[in-house]
Structure formats: structure tokens, C-alpha cells
Structure 1
């Protein structure tokens, strides 16, 4: 797995010792790379079948079930005629390059965030990755060109954003302070050697031409693209979407079932939001309109400049600091919660969500991160920030990821969207239950808005890809349900267009975790304790939802 995903080794901090050579490598995104992945998956599944069904160690049983599920799902995705099917990942997409997919985004973020440069060997590894970027870009370009030949191109509005982003990256690529070279310049400032000069030569001679080739292909796609948002009108689109839903939810729920669940949950959430809004004196208009009006109050916003950006990060950090002392009420065994909050790369911001986060390296040398989108500071305010940091940071992605990293290494590499995002949404619920909003009704409104946001994702994702909705209809439904700003809403809808099915994992996952908690309470009565339930869920690691149910059954039986 690490040979196929060398950057994952760097993210986890295990590109050392026998794996040290991976620090300078990139994954192969060409058609030949897909063939290699399929060969690995086929062989790995054959090996996994050799493990006895009565294996006595439960951790091993769980790991075998997890790997088998991840490998089988990925192999099914790779059998489809086009697209990116990740092995134990969440960024499955029919499109190899869009506004939020591709090497043009992934490598700058890796180099800035996780790529260590502590000595000359590390600096050489950085340059090796820069040198490998053209092949990775060209591999993507070949695949999207082949997909175009099959009649598949992204929607025109996604291509417009991707073209703008890559054009900006090209303009900054050879800049010693830009996204490709700047991190190396900063990290080698006290290190002898012409590191920046060597990087500039690599970028100018090889990376820039590869980016130009990819940009030319995107322009060719744009010339034939349409505004059709979903997969329904694309060749093999319904087949791809059915797989995307399976991969993202680890269930076989139908689009109609998922759509109806989202509609029903929105009704309940809006009723709760209505009460809070009336408490602020907002009684006229829809729930979403009143939520927008509240967020526009000056006392709940931040300046629209660099000082405002600094204040946003400070406010986020304050919420993380405030929840830490309350965590012993929700977990039996605490981990460190190694976390820093950073602005995401500027080139990425136009096509990115408000923030995202994840754990750092296994040894703790690289902290987990919340990457926050500060391109448009107006998308952040004191209504929405608390919910955001609890989801992305603690007790959400960063927190849960540290528990997972204590399991066998394969379990840190493999992840399941429904569990990952379901846990992060459940973490928002825990923050509410731990009293984080007792004196913050605006923040609690933001929490309910966040739940509504995830519920309406079930509605719009299935609407776009299974019911033929336009981007405009999806935007209207999304804004009516959430009250999020137009710029934020557009980024969200475009993300659902680029990653079909991924947005459904959040609410499906949280709904299942809550259902398992209800089951545990009913089965255990007075013996039930929230700390033990939460511990069982995080100690079991990142799993498909059927494996989660098995883990909870084992926890109930053990008590």
C-alpha cells in the first residue's frame, strides 16, 4: 500500500527506515498506475482469503474485514470505464482533474504541510518529488484525455474554476516564494546549498511544461463541455454513481431512500432553528433567510482583511482550547489531540470548502491540521466557526484519527468516508452535549445549521446525480435549507458535482452511529456509559458501517 501511495507514508510520518525512499516519490496516476493498483488489489484479496474465519484475535478479525471491504470496493471502482477510485480513501471522482482534484493541488499542499525538510537528504527528497511532478501531471492528462474520448468531461463550471486555478499556479510556479518552491526556501533557510535555485530550474524546465499540457487539455474539454451538473446524462453515469454511493456510505441505500432521509431530517432541524432565531428577535421570513440575517450582524463577523483572517484563526483556536477540559466526560482514554490551524494554499481556496482537517504523523512530529479557507473571510463568522472546528479538529477528524493511528498501520492508511465524516458530525453533537453552546445560542444555531447542511447534502447530491437537477436548482435548495452565503454554497455544490456520493457519507454515518448508541442504551440499561460507548467507537478504528455494528455488538456483550 505504501509503495502505491508514497505520499501517505509522508502524511503518517512512516517514510523512514525501510520506507525512507518513499519520501521522494509520488503515486503513479497514469493508466499503467491503475493497472498496477488492480494487480495489487487482486493479489491482496487472495491473500486475505487465507486468514482463517475463526481467527481468535478480534483486532485481526476487524482489520481483515476492513481491508477486504476497502480492496473489494476499490477494485469494483477501477472496473468502471473511467474515473479515480481510491484504495481506502474518500476522494473518488469520475473526473481526474477539476477545481478540487489533481496533482496541481495535492503536491503544493503536501510540500507546504507534511513534507519534512530537516537535513540535506530531506531537501533532496523534496527536489525528487518536484522532479516527479511532471510525470504525475502527464499521467492525469492522459487519463482525462482518454475519458474525453469516451464522452466524459466535467461540467463547464468546474472546468472554468480548474482553468483559473491552474493558470494561477502556472503564474506562480517558478516564483521562489510561490507554492512549489516557497516551502523549500523557508525550510532550508539555515541550510547550505542552492536549494531554491535547483528547484526553480526543475520547475521551469519540467513542471511548467507539464502544467501547460494539462491546461491545454482542460481547454479542449471546456470547448465541448456542457452545464449539465450530474452523472445522469454522462456515459455510464448511473453505474458510476451507484458505485460512488456504495463507496461513500458503505451501504446499499438507494438514491431515493437517501433523498427522503435528508428531507425528513431537514424538517426537524428547521423547527429547532426557528426557536433560536425567534430568541434573537428574528420572526419574519424563512428559517434560512433569518439565519442569514443573524450572521450579518456586525458583532458576529470579522474584518474583511488580513487582520480579520488573523482573528478568525484565533477564534477557532479559542474554541478548541475551550472544549479540551470537557473531553473526559465523553471518553475513558484521552489522546493528545495534536493540532494546528493553518490557512490553506491560496491557489486552492477558490474551489475548496470552508475548511477541512485530519490527523498528523503517527509519531506526533507533524501535528494534525485544520486547513481553513480564508480567501473570502466573509464565509466565516461566530455562528459557524464553533461547529466547523469541532468537526474538523477536536473531537472530530484530528481527534479520531489519533486513536486510529494506534492500530496496525494498514488501518491508518485505509479510511471510510461514512465513518470518518459520520464521526466528525457525531463530534459536533458531542460538543453540544458537553455544553459548548449553553451560553452561545448563536453557536448552537450554527451547529443546527451544520446538521441542516449535511442533511440537505443527501437531498442535493442525489438530486444532481440521480434526478437530473441543474446546478441552479441545487444551489437554490441548498441555500434555502442552510442560509449559507452564496460563495460558500457554490463551492459546496461544485464539490458535490466533482465527488459524486461523497457528500452523502456525513449524515448516513452520523445517523448510524447514533442508531448504534440508541441500541447500546436499550441493551445495557443502567450499565450504559457514554464514555465507554464513545471509546468503543474510536478504539474500533475507521471501519465500514457494518463492521461498526459488529464492534458495538462486541462492546455490548463485553459489558
Structure 2
């Protein structure tokens, strides 16, 4: 899973308007190819002005964009209206370019940005869907949930992504702390307005959120990450100033009062929250889920079709797992029951303490290193793809995903960060860790993001902004298969079981997500299905189910993307025969920068045509 371009970071500050975009970026007087590149750059600038955190995430909040480093996004009604208005202007800019005059590569880019802006426009009927969700490719019907909102994202963003190399960086950090307090109040107002119109998270998510807010508030200001981060980093850089005292004062005088207001408003708004898990209970909920599925899968496949597909693929993968489990002497019970037993096997578990967590993270680093020698078989790109493995911060682990990754910055100053949730080491038995690392690390998210970073000079910036969940997660799931095919598990049968179990789990997600939001499944029914079928523990599957409730449609992107990539690989293999080169096919996918599944065949068709025309020794 990735967070960044496709996961909106809640914030709040004044948003820059189109007038702030340099005139050169808005110019459209050049010949067609250059004119189109100028349009793409203009759209990127507009999006960055509306999402300053993204500029920091990418490492492009410098030069003309340096002012963005002190700001957070504006998710107030006015900010949402500004994004919706900007999207209309962006669409007009794209439509002013004659697609037929562009090269095939730029035609695909034209189609891609058009697809993004269409999804952005489709968010309009849903007052609880901010326009930026359509642009960046993520759904969150509740302004605050266990995984969405300023409280769960901004402190970690400031700590791990906001750079502090000078006094001006530190001042910008403090400006963002002040903006954080404002964004909490923006959310609080939205919580009240949404609740008055029947939109609030279900009671079980509400209880989790209330616990998270109370936990944040119970921490002494001096111990808050907002304070310790700037104190530690300014000291390390020898930047003079009373940074710690100023940050602590802001937390006490601005942030904590805003947190108190949000806690009171959220508690009141969710006092009678329903237990219904799916979004069908929301205003226009069925239509919203159709939009969410389109956003999450970048296809027109219906919920019923996805549900049926998930059931079929789950059955197929269980049959493959059964064979491997039997070879290891595990013959009794269903596949799910045997996996449950494997999850409890002491040989597969690290001690649930700091020493065990350190050993687990060391093992993940070993797996990253083990994959690197395999990469020449899988890609000709020769990327450095640096990655740091970190534990999910304790203060957000209750609502965070079990594993996720932040792409590297484009300036090369911050590598990719691969996070693993270690609230309990039992969440991650050893046999599951190699495939997790292929997904989040190499050749998964880290590799795909590294191409954008290491080739950013030749790739339009917009490719690093917009996110297509099904492509990004489909590529990462396909990467899990690639390392298996490359022989990583040749002498490690339990990790091979872990690979198949991970595929099977993603098939079950197709069933669970559509079950919750289209088939009226309950939370309890979904948790039981996932536990019975995948063998994963109750805590992990409860967390997963709650994630699907808070981000409908997103969980379907993994297997849908994987399925389409495999289908297209088969098409290419059939068309090219001995001319098919796996590494070249993989590079074709990565070099798109990420596109909707609906457009991916265009890139593969171009690869096939090019490979056919190449000489026999090419």
C-alpha cells in the first residue's frame, strides 16, 4: 500500500490561486509538443499550489514554490470549491490541445490526465467527497476516521517529510504547526455539517477515533512529536533558536484547544452513530460506491462482477495453497485453519517486544538485499531504488494500515520509506514478510517510485502527482509474483505459501469490499469471512475491515490491477513469442509513470509493435 499521492493528507491554510502560477508555466504559445508539456506543467503547478504537502513529499517545494513549505492544504468548503474550479480550468487547458497532433506517448498522457479530471468532476454530487480525492485517487467519505484526518497524518508528515536544514525551514515547520490547528477546526466544522446531513462513520470507527484523539491529548506537549521532531533536528543541524519552546507553546495554546474542540464535536456527532458498516446508508451512497469503485479500480467493472471474481480466484488460490501446505505436512482442517495454525507457530513469530521488532525489521532489510541481485532478470532500468524500513509510529499504529510506503522525493534527498505496523509482531509472521517486502520495497512500490524520482527530469511532473490505485497496487502485487518466478522462494517453501496467501488475501478483498458496500454485509460478517478464508487473526482482519469502511473501493485495486497486468503479459507473450522479453515488458509498465487500467493496453500495444519491428538481436 502507498500513502502520498493517492492518500490525501488533511491540513488547512490559505490556498494559492491560479494567479500565483508563473506566467511561463501558463504559456501555451509554443508548438504542439512543447505546448502540451507546458499545459502539463501548468496543471502540476496548480495541483501543487492546492496541495502543498505533495510539493514537500516530492521535494519540489523550492525555488518559485518555496512558499508552499510553510502551508498545508485547505479542505474547507472554500478550499474544495477552489479545487473543483481549478479542475474545470485544467480540463479546458487539456481540451485546447489537439490530441491527434501529439506523439503516441503524449497521447497516452493526454488520455491519462483527462481520465483524472473526469473522475474529479464526478465527485461533485457527493458533498462528503472532496474534489481533490478524484484528482489524487483516494476515497474517504468521513472527514475524520481512524486513518484519515489531520491528527493521524500531519504530525507524522512534519516529522518524516518536512525538511529542516535551516532556520527558514524551522520557521516553515512552525507555520505548519499553526496551520495544523486551523485544519483541525476546519475538520471540526465539517464533522458537524456532515452529521447534520446524515454522514458520520459507523460506531466502531467512531470509538477508535475517540480513543486516538484522547491518546494524543493525554500526551504532554513537551513529548509530542510536533515538539520533539523540531527540537531534535534543529539541534542536529546546529540551528540556533528556541524552537522547542516555541513549538511546545503552539501545541499548548493552539493545537490542544483545537483537539479539544474536535473531540467534543466528534463525540457529539457520533453519539448515535449506526453500526452499519457500508456506505450504502449515506446520501446517494450506492452512487458514491460506484464512483469509489471506478476510482479504485480504474475500470467499469460492477460490484457484482468484482464480488464474483473474488470468490472464484479465492477458491483457485486456496487449491494451490492446499498442495503446498500438504507438502509441509499440514493436512488437517481447511486451508484457513491450517494458515491460522501456521500464524501461531512459534517458529514463525518474533518476540512481541522491542528486541523482536528490531529482529523483524532487520529481516525485512535482509529481504530487500536478497531481491537486488534478481533485478537484472526483471528490469533493464538499473535503478538505485533506495529504501528505509521503519516501524509505523506508535501514536498512529492503531488506525494505520499493516504496511505501507511513501515514495522517494524527486530531488533524491529522501529515499522511499517502507513502514510496517508492529503494534504486535504477531501481525506479521515470518513467512509473510518476504512477499510484503517485494510489495512495499523492491520491485514493488519502491522500484516504481524510484523510476519517477531517478528520471524526473524527463518525465512531466504531473506523473508524480496523480495516482491510480489499481496500477500502483496492481504493480506491487505483480511484483510479489515476479520474485517468486525469479526463484526467491526456491528453497523457502513457507515464504512461497506466504506469497500465495497474500494473493489469496487480495482476492478476498474483492469479496469483502463489495460485500460491505454493495451486498450489505456487516462488519462482523466481513471479519469472519476474512478470518475463515485467509487464516489471518481477528485483530488484523478487524483492522482491515475498518480500513475498507473508511476507504471504500481502494482495496479492490490490488487484485484488479494484478489481473489486468497478467492478462496483458499473456497478450504480449502470445503476440511476440520468442521476442517477448520479461524485463522489457515490466519496464514498459513502469515507464508509463502509472496510468488507469482502462488505458494500460495502449502502452502494451506500443511495446508489442516496437518489439515486433526490432531486429533479431535487439
> Is TM more than 0.5 here?
yes
**C-alpha RMSD of matched pairs (Å):** 1.2
Answer yes or no: is the 8 Å Cα contact 1:188–1:195 preserved in 2: yes
Residue of structure 2 aligned with 1:67, choices 113, 116, 138: 113
- Indicate the residue corresponding to 1:271 in structure 2: 319
Answer yes or no: is the 8 Å Cα contact 1:359–1:399 preserved in 2: no
TM-score by length of 2: 0.89
Aligned: 1:352 with 2:412: no
Counterparts of 1:137-216 in structure 2, within 5 Å, are 137-172=184-219, 174-189=220-235, 190-216=238-264
Distance in 1, matches of 2:181 and 2:479, equals 40
Answer yes or no: is the 8 Å Cα contact 1:353–1:488 preserved in 2: no
Distance in 1, matches of 2:196 and 2:266, equals 13
- Indicate the residue corresponding to 1:508 in structure 2: 560
Answer yes or no: is the 8 Å Cα contact 2:99–2:110 preserved in 1: no
Aligned: 1:103 with 2:150: yes
Aligned: 1:41 with 2:93: no
Answer yes or no: is the 8 Å Cα contact 2:123–2:134 preserved in 1: no
Counterparts of 1:449-488 in structure 2, within 5 Å, are 449-488=501-540
Distance in 2, matches of 1:143 and 1:550, equals 41
Answer yes or no: is the 8 Å Cα contact 1:288–1:479 preserved in 2: yes
- TM-superposed deviation, 1:457: 0.5
Answer yes or no: is the 8 Å Cα contact 1:84–1:96 preserved in 2: no
Gaps of 5+ in 2: 1-46, 612-618
Per-residue Cα deviation, 1:310-330 (whole angstroms, up to 9, x for no partner): 011001110000000100001
- Indicate the residue corresponding to 1:331 in structure 2: 379
Distance in 1, matches of 2:147 and 2:138, equals 10
Residue of structure 2 aligned with 1:237, choices 282, 285, 297: 285
Does 460-469 or 479-488 show the bigger shift? 479-488
Distance in 1, matches of 2:492 and 2:159, equals 35
- Indicate the residue corresponding to 1:290 in structure 2: 338
Answer yes or no: is the 8 Å Cα contact 1:34–1:78 preserved in 2: no
Per-residue Cα deviation, 1:77-107 (whole angstroms, up to 9, x for no partner): 1331323451432431111100000000111
- Indicate the residue corresponding to 1:89 in structure 2: 136
Answer yes or no: is the 8 Å Cα contact 1:426–1:513 preserved in 2: yes
Aligned: 1:58 with 2:104: yes
Answer yes or no: is the 8 Å Cα contact 1:332–1:532 preserved in 2: yes
- TM-superposed deviation, 1:260: 0.5
Distance in 2, matches of 1:233 and 1:53, equals 41
SS at match of 1:383: helix
Answer yes or no: is the 8 Å Cα contact 1:131–1:202 preserved in 2: yes
Answer yes or no: is the 8 Å Cα contact 2:410–2:452 preserved in 1: no
- Indicate the residue corresponding to 2:72 in structure 1: 26
Per-residue Cα deviation, 1:404-452 (whole angstroms, up to 9, x for no partner): 3432111100110010111110010111111111111111111111111
Answer yes or no: is the 8 Å Cα contact 2:432–2:495 preserved in 1: yes
- Indicate the residue corresponding to 2:599 in structure 1: 547
TM-score by length of 1: 0.98
SS at match of 2:100: coil
Answer yes or no: is the 8 Å Cα contact 1:317–1:341 preserved in 2: yes
- TM-superposed deviation, 1:306: 0.3
Residue of structure 1 aligned with 2:496, choices 427, 444, 464: 444
Distance in 2, matches of 1:110 and 1:78, equals 28
Aligned: 1:314 with 2:362: yes
- TM-superposed deviation, 1:145: 1.6
Counterparts of 1:105-120 in structure 2, within 5 Å, are 105-120=152-167
Aligned: 1:135 with 2:182: yes
Residue of structure 1 aligned with 2:440, choices 372, 385, 392: 392
Residue of structure 1 aligned with 2:270, choices 222, 226, 230: 222
Name the CA shift for 1:234/1:80 in 2 (closer, same or farther; >3 Å): closer
Gaps of 5+ in 1: none
Per-residue Cα deviation, 1:10-43 (whole angstroms, up to 9, x for no partner): 1111111111111110000111111000000011
Does 454-463 or 275-284 show the bigger shift? 275-284
Answer yes or no: is the 8 Å Cα contact 1:350–1:375 preserved in 2: yes
- Indicate the residue corresponding to 2:31 in structure 1: none
Distance in 2, matches of 1:217 and 1:385, equals 40
Distance in 2, matches of 1:301 and 1:258, equals 34
Answer yes or no: is the 8 Å Cα contact 2:343–2:536 preserved in 1: no
Answer yes or no: is the 8 Å Cα contact 2:402–2:421 preserved in 1: yes
Does 352-361 or 309-318 show the bigger shift? 352-361
- Indicate the residue corresponding to 1:8 in structure 2: 54
- TM-superposed deviation, 1:140: 1.7
Distance in 1, matches of 2:447 and 2:208, equals 32
Per-residue Cα deviation, 1:111-145 (whole angstroms, up to 9, x for no partner): 12111101111111110100111221122222222
Per-residue Cα deviation, 1:488-522 (whole angstroms, up to 9, x for no partner): 11110000011111100110111001111001011
SS at match of 2:299: coil
- TM-superposed deviation, 1:149: 1.1
Distance in 1, matches of 2:398 and 2:101, equals 49
SS at match of 1:340: strand
Answer yes or no: is the 8 Å Cα contact 1:30–1:138 preserved in 2: no
Distance in 1, matches of 2:91 and 2:577, equals 40
Distance in 1, matches of 2:270 and 2:319, equals 43
Distance in 1, matches of 2:562 and 2:570, equals 12
Distance in 1, matches of 2:105 and 2:232, equals 42
SS at match of 2:419: strand
SS at match of 1:410: helix
Distance in 1, matches of 2:204 and 2:367, equals 36
- Indicate the residue corresponding to 1:426 in structure 2: 478
Answer yes or no: is the 8 Å Cα contact 1:94–1:240 preserved in 2: no
- Indicate the residue corresponding to 1:304 in structure 2: 352
Does 83-92 or 304-313 show the bigger shift? 83-92
- The runs of at least 4 aligned residues of structure 1 exceeding 6 Å deviation read none
Aligned residues: 558
- Indicate the residue corresponding to 2:4 in structure 1: none
